[in-house]
Homo-oligomer: A and B are copies of this chain.
Amino acid sequence: MMTKRRTIFFISDRTAISAETLGQSLLTQFEHLQFYQVTLPFVDTLEKARFAVMQINNAEQQSGAKPIIFSTLINDDIRQMIMTGKGVVFDFFDTYMGRLEEELRTTSSHTVGRYHGMVNDTAYNFRIDAVNYAMYNDDGASTKEYDKADIILIGVSRAGKTPTCLYLGLQFGIYAANYPLTEEDLVNKDGYLPPVLAPFRRKLFGLTISPERLYNIRARRRPDSRYSSFEQCRQEVALAETLFQYEDIPFINITTMSVEEIAATVLHECNLRRRVV
């Protein structure tokens, strides 16, 4: 028997990033259900809101179930318009703003899209500088700027270093470099650090991964190579973990972690100070 899927709408007057964050984190608690998901960003006029209502009502008619709407709508008129549709509206500002105003004993500015919009030049500059830093100092490409690094991630190839560094830069303005531990760095080195890293010992943080997952990632990239053989993965991981332990470098196993989770963990464990909120 087919169950009709609910439609979920994420509606915002700006990017809809907050609306998606809110909705997705709630929906992941209902993994056994399947949904159609529709994001409607930049709904900032009554006309666009009217069109959104048409889409909501249409989805209701198609599926026979009320769509669920996660929204972040500052403008009262636009929010009221969305509420005239045949959906169930969870509006984030509607829910919290009153109580927050009361608690802070002041009124809110009712300004659209301050958070992800209306760039703060200083924050933008910090983020861009940090992203550029991550790009120029990726994969051991350059080691000359390690003195500027807030953190240097080390680990075998494909252990999540690059995306984590980029995320740390984009999200938090952190200067993150990364250095790949190659076979040459690891074999017969008795667990000693590569010389280029030695002066920066206190900035080092290790990422490790299960050999099975590493094999899976590498094989997608370069199938049937020595690089992606399971034995190679197993050996490199074992040597890297020995190095971390021998040199007393903090490390985490990222096998089951998302990029956000790796980055948040590094930030937390290393007590890094973010440059942008």
Q: Which A residues lie at the B interface, using CB under 8 A?
A: 6, 14-18, 21-22, 24-26, 28-33, 37, 41-42, 66, 68, 72, 74, 88, 90, 92-93, 95-97, 99-100, 103-104, 106, 108-111, 113-121, 123-125, 127-128, 131-132, 135, 138, 160, 162-163, 166-167, 170, 213, 216-217, 220, 256-261, 263-265, 268, 277
Contacts and interface: CB of A to CB of B under 8 A. Distances in A.
Nearest to A134: B166
A259 to B, nearest CB: 7
Contacts of A259: 124, 127, 170
Contact of A264 (B17, B29, B220, B277): B17
A188 to B, nearest CB: 31
Contacts of A123: 258
B33 A106 contact: yes
Nearest to A70: B96
Contacts of A6: 104
A28 B100 contact: no
- Say how many copies of this protein the assembly contains: 2
A127 B262 CA distance: 14
Residue with the greatest number of chain B CB neighbours at <10 A, chosen from A22, A93, A118, A127: A22
A100 B68 contact: yes
Nearest to A213: B121
Contact of A124 (B108, B162, B258): B258
A17 B26 contact: no
A99 B131 CA distance: 40
Contact of A117 (B113, B116, B257): B257
- Ranked 3 nearest A-B pairs via Cβ: A28-B114, A15-B264, A29-B108
A68 B260 contact: no
18 contacts: A15-B264, A15-B265, A17-B264, A18-B21, A25-B116, A29-B110, A30-B106, A32-B106, A33-B106, A37-B277, A68-B103, A90-B100, A95-B95, A113-B261, A117-B261, A128-B163, A128-B217, A131-B166
B25 A104 contact: no
Contacts of A264: 14-17, 41, 116
A123 B259 CA distance: 11
A256 B123 CA distance: 12
A213 B125 CA distance: 11
